[in-house]
């Protein structure tokens, strides 16, 4: 073997340094003869590949690539894996090396895919940018790829092949004369009928293959002339999955194609689509067919036409209307619904399509409704058309449409009522200015002046006598009618003219309900409030709309205040509406502006936000009582927050005796509540440097060993050291002193270490968790300063079985490792060992955090652990979570680059 090694080194030296190109052929010959392996060649090139001279490194890569061109057929999977990683890293090297890298990659790509069938190659290949580098090879590369894929059957290789082919077509590779060949070599697998075997170790699914192949077939319009006839052919299949796959593939084409690719195939496509919707017994097939119809319509609608090109959208719509329109009036229901669905699919696809379908279909739909047959589908289809259609189409049908919609509101069918209100919404949102003498009345004005006035009397019926069941039944029926009318008013009230009419009427309903002059139920009041809220959210922002709300807000405020003073009658929805509408209320609280309140008797300069809280001591006692006695977590936590917020800005004397009493009693049923109050008050006093905070935090430290509250206490330090979003922050004007975290750490870190050392083994994890939370929230400079003293505990925390401790500690260490202090370097072996052990944790967050630390460790100058790290990182590359595999690949690549000129 020594002689073989000397032979190899001699060949390398003569090629690289001696510039003897013929030695590449000699090297390939000796390799074929078994004198050495390709990996031994890479090893022999080591010194030249790490040379400081780019030309020397280029000669080394050139030799390897030249030998690969001659010997690539005999490579093992392991050798291919190493070479792929090697070339990927060389792509980052000097530009003079790149041509030789591409030469080697071309040799690898020309391998038969069955020779490359291993999971790691798949992962590495997906992560790198090799294909982009190969784009310059043009049609020669495509031809080589086609030859490589032809006849492949292994699903792992097919998935890889589809992904490569997808990149080729999406990124505009020069396909040359091999366009049809590339299509044929991939489309022969369409539609995918692969079913993974039981206990398949590779995890390849049918869906993965389907989506990858679909991305290829629909990735370029150049495939249209081949793909569309294939889809038409496959739609004749008796296999449902094949039909669905074909229809979904056709839908995907619509985002890539234009009318010129579709035009000649429209009759054949429509015939197949119509059949699948009219005759199918499968909802999946029908749904996929309708989606394809909509996508085709949208595609044809957005295509830019030339002066000499035919309007393909009009051609397609003529086909649809010819086959569907007449079915809407047939007494036989068999084809009514399929026809209605197809018309819906086209009309909702684009503005142009809805305009064309509406003009053709609306007259027959209105006639159909008036004949009292097929009521539901008439309203539903009408709504789908109206949403997108131009108002000019509707003006000729406005009277008939309004009659149909308001008639449908009185139907007993709930779905029909809902649909009719959606139609009203669409009608109310139609634009249009005040008409002149020569133009018809705009739809929204027509609704206001002609039809909306009709429901108003229904909202205020005459009081009925109480008593018999018939009367009660009638009252219930009237309530249902009133709620439908309220919903109808809200549905159409988006234009200012409609808002001006509807909101006073709805406000009058609330007033009548409050005074008892109207027989309105709680459900009706809630319905009115929801309707007012809907109007406020959807109404157009105009001066007229603002004037309406300006007038009704004082009345809403008055009703809300009156309602609040009678809790037994309170309707909280009224208050919610006030929150949405009361822009003037802001001025009331900030500026003391009471001028808009009717019949007010308030001081002219009232300052609501500057009024001192009355009876503070009593309020604190009540909050303390609630926080310590309620068994509802949200209630006692909110009370604790309120208490803490007040204590943060108030003089704090002797307090919280009850907390200590409850916490010190192991049998107390409210220890959790008392702990919650302790935690929030500790934070409130810590923020303001109050002397009492020390006693409270000492109490928290003591609870770390508590069998019941220990875990809560450890997690509590995260709340103590982090920013609170709702209370005790500068945004809520809390008293927050600067550097309170640093001060807390300085005063308490020794206590934490002492507690850890004194605790029994099973209680130590609580101290470690508390420590990781505290350190994790310190500024980085403080972490670097304090790290030497805390490093033993942090390393101990990495071995703690608590996964929360592991994540928190790793998150703390990772930013420090980016600029490591000398103390960390001396503990490198222990740190690497414990961090690597966590890369296979059952918890994904732990695996990710540990891999980020491994990535950061690549910045250390001590590289003697490099091979150890690389071996250990092989396992996470096979992790079942993609995000973990991604972090592992990034970390491993950094370690691969260590020591090379292109690396760190």
SS (H, E, C) 357-417: HHHHHHHHHHHHHHCCCCHHHHHHHHHHHHHHCCHHHHHCCHHHHHHHHHHHHCCCCHHHH
Q: Which of 152-161, 592-601, 829-838 has the lowest mean pLDDT?
A: 592-601
Q: What is the DSSP string of 813-837?
A: HHHHHTS--HHHHHTHHHHHHHHHH
Q: What percent of the chain has pLDDT over 70?
A: 73
Question: Could you tell me if 166 and 182 are in contact, meaning their C-beta atoms sit under 8 angstroms apart?
Answer: no
* Residue 438 Cα distances to 263, 397, 398, 441, 560, angstroms: 41, 17, 17, 10, 47
Exposure letters 228-237 (e unless 16+ CB within 10 A, then b): bebbbebbee
HSE-up (13 A, CA, CB side) for residue 661: 5
The confidence score (pLDDT) of residue 118 equals: 42
Length reported for the chain: 904
Q: How far apart are CA 317 and CA 339, in angstroms?
A: 13
Structure tokens at 466: 């109480």
Q: Which of 746-755, 823-832, 872-881 has the lowest mean pLDDT?
A: 823-832
The confidence score (pLDDT) of residue 601 equals: 57
Q: How far apart are CA 523 and CA 486, in angstroms?
A: 12
Report which of 306, 211, 222, 282 is spatially closest to residue 257, judged by C-alpha positions. Answer: 222
Residue 489 confidence (pLDDT) above 80:
no
Residue 85 confidence (pLDDT) above 50:
yes
Q: How far apart are CA 349 and CA 387, in angstroms?
A: 11
Q: How far apart are CA 188 and CA 152, in angstroms?
A: 11
How high is the mean pLDDT of the chain? 76
CB within 8 A of 500, min separation 6: which ones?
544, 548
CB within 8 A of 105, min separation 6: which ones?
87, 130, 133, 134
DSSP code at position 448: I
Residue 558 confidence (pLDDT) above 80:
no
Reduced to 3 states (helix: H, G, I; strand: E, B; else coil), residue 154 is: coil
Q: Which alpha helices (H) appear in 303-335, and where do they start and end?
A: 312-324
Taking residues 435-457, report their average pLDDT: 48
846-865 pLDDT per residue, tens: 888 888 888 887 777 655 56
Residue 575 confidence (pLDDT) above 70:
no
Q: How far apart are CA 336 and CA 331, in angstroms?
A: 9
Angle at 224 (CA atoms; ends 221, 226), nearest 5 degrees:
140
Q: How far apart are CA 306 and CA 284, in angstroms?
A: 37
When mean pLDDT is compared over 113-127, 377-391, 417-431, 635-649, the highest value belongs to 635-649
Structure tokens at 36: 């050495």
Please give the residue that has the higher pLDDT: either 303 or 899: 303
Estimate to the nearest angstrom the gap between the alpha carbon of 637 and the chain centroid.
30
Question: Could you tell me if 448 and 459 are in contact, meaning their C-beta atoms sit under 8 angstroms apart?
Answer: no
When mean pLDDT is compared over 163-167, 246-250, 694-698, 727-731, the highest value belongs to 246-250
Taking residues 42-47, report their average pLDDT: 86
Taking residues 195-199, report their average pLDDT: 75
The confidence score (pLDDT) of residue 411 equals: 64
Other beta carbons less than 10 A from residue 1's beta carbon: 8
The confidence score (pLDDT) of residue 447 equals: 53
Q: How far apart are CA 594 and CA 588, in angstroms?
A: 6
Write the Ramachandran bin of 227: left for phi over 0, alpha for psi from -120 to 50, otherwise beta.
Answer: alpha
Q: How far apart are CA 163 and CA 130, in angstroms?
A: 13
Report which of 833, 761, 757, 738 is spatially closest to residue 795, judged by C-alpha positions. Answer: 833
For residue 444, what pLDDT band results from cuts at 50, 70 and 90?
low
Other beta carbons less than 10 A from residue 531's beta carbon: 24
Taking residues 139-167, report their average pLDDT: 79
């Amino acid at each position: 073997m020594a002689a073989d090694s000397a032979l190899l080194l001699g060949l390398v030296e003569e090629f690289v340094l001696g510039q003897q190109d013929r030695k590449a052929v000699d090297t390939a010959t000796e390799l074929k003869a078994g004198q050495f392996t390709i990996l031994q060649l890479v090893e022999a090139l080591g010194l030249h590949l790490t040379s400081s001279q780019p030309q020397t490194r280029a000669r080394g890569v050139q030799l390897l690539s030249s030998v690969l061109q001659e010997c690539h057929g005999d490579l093992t999977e392991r050798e291919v894996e190493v070479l792929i990683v090697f070339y990927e890293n060389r792509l980052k090297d000097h530009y003079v090396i790149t041509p030789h890298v591409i030469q080697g990659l071309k040799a690898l790509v020309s391998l038969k895919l069955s020779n490359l069938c291993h999971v790691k190659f798949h992962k590495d290949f997906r992560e790198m940018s090799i294909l982009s580098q190969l784009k310059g090879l043009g049609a020669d590369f495509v031809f080589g790829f086609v030859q490589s894929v032809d006849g492949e059957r292994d699903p792992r290789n097919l998935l890889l092949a589809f992904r490569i082919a997808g990149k080729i077509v999406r990124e505009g590779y020069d396909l040359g004369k091999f366009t049809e060949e590339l299509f044929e070599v991939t489309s022969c697998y369409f539609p995918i009928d692969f079913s993974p075997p039981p206990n398949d170790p590779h995890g390849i699914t049918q869906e993965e293959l389907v989506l990858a192949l679909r991305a290829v077939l629909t990735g370029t319009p150049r495939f249209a002339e081949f793909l569309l006839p294939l889809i038409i052919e496959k739609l004749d299949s008796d296999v449902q999955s094949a039909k669905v796959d074909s229809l979904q593939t056709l839908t995907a084409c619509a985002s890539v194609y234009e009318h010129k690719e579709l035009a000649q195939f429209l009759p054949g496509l429509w015939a197949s689509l119509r059949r699948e919707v009219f005759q199918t017994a499968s909802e999946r097939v029908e749904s996929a067919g309708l989606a394809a119809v909509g996508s085709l319509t949208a595609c044809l609608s957005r295509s830019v036409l030339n002066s000499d090109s035919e309007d393909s959208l009009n051609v397609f719509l003529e086909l649809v209307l010819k086959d569907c329109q007449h079915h809407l009036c047939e007494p036989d229901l068999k084809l009514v619904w399929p026809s209605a669905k197809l018309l819906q699919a086209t009309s909702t696809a684009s503005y142009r399509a809805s305009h064309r379908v509406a003009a053709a279909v609306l007259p027959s739909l209105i006639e159909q409704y008036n004949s009292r047959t097929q009521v539901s589908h008439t309203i539903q289809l009408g709504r789908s058309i109206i949403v997108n259609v131009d108002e000019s189409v509707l003006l000729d049908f406005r009277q008939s449409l309004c009659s149909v919609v308001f008639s449908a509101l009185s139907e007993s069918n709930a779905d029909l009522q809902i649909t009719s209100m959606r139609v009203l919404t669409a009608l109310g949102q139609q634009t249009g200015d005040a008409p002149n003498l020569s133009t018809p009345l705009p739809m929204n004005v027509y609704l206001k002046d002609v039809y909306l006035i009709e429901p108003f009397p229904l909202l205020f019926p005459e009081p009925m006598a109480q008593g018999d069941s018939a009367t009660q039944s009638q009252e219930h029926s009237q309530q249902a009618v009133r709620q439908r009318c309220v919903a109808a008013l809200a549905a159409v009230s988006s234009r200012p003219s409609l808002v001006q009419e509807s909101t006073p009427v709805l406000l009058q309903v609330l007033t009548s309900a409050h005074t008892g002059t109207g027989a309105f139920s709680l459900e009706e009041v809630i319905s009115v409030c929801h309707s007012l809220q809907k109007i406020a959210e959807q109404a157009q922002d105009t001066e007229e709309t603002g004037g309406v709300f300006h007038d009704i807000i004082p009345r809403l405020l008055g009703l809300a205040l009156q309602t609040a003073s009678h809790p037994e009658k309170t309707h909280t929805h009224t208050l919610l509406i006030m929150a949405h509408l009361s822009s003037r209320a802001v001025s009331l609280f900030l500026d003391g502006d009471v001028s808009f309140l009717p019949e007010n008797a308030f001081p002219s300069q009232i300052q609501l936000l500057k009024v001192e809280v009355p009876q503070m001591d009593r309020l604190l006692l009540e909050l303390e009582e609630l926080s310590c006695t309620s068994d509802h977590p949200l209630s006692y936590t909110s009370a604790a927050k309120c208490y803490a917020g007040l204590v943060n800005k108030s003089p704090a004397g002797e307090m919280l005796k009850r907390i200590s009493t409850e916490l010190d009693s192991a049998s107390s049923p409210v220890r959790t509540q008392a702990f919650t109050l302790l935690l929030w008050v500790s934070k409130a006093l810590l923020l303001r440097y109050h002397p009492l905070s020390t006693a409270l935090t000492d109490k928290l430290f003591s609870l770390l060993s508590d069998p019941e509250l220990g875990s809560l206490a450890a997690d509590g330090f995260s709340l103590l050291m982090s920013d609170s979003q709702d209370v005790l922050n500068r945004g809520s004007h809390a008293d927050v002193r600067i550097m309170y975290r640093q001060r807390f750490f300085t005063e308490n870190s020794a206590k934490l270490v002492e507690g850890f050392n004194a605790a029994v083994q099973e209680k130590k994890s609580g101290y470690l968790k508390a420590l990781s939370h505290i350190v994790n929230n310190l500024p980085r400079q403080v972490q670097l300063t304090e790290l030497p003293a805390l490093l033993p505990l942090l390393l101990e925390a990495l071995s703690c079985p608590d996964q929360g401790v592991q994540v928190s500690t790793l998150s703390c260490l990772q930013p420090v490792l980016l600029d490591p202090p000398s103390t960390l370097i001396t503990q490198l072996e222990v740190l690497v060992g414990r961090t690597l052990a966590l890369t296979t944790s059952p918890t994904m967050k732990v695996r990710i955090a540990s891999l980020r630390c491994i990535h950061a460790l690549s910045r250390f100058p001590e590289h003697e652990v490099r091979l150890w790290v690389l071996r250990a990182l092989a396992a996470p590359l096979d992790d079942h979570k993609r995000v973990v595999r991604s972090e592992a690949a990034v970390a491993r690549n950094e370690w691969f680059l260590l020591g090379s000129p292109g690396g760190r």
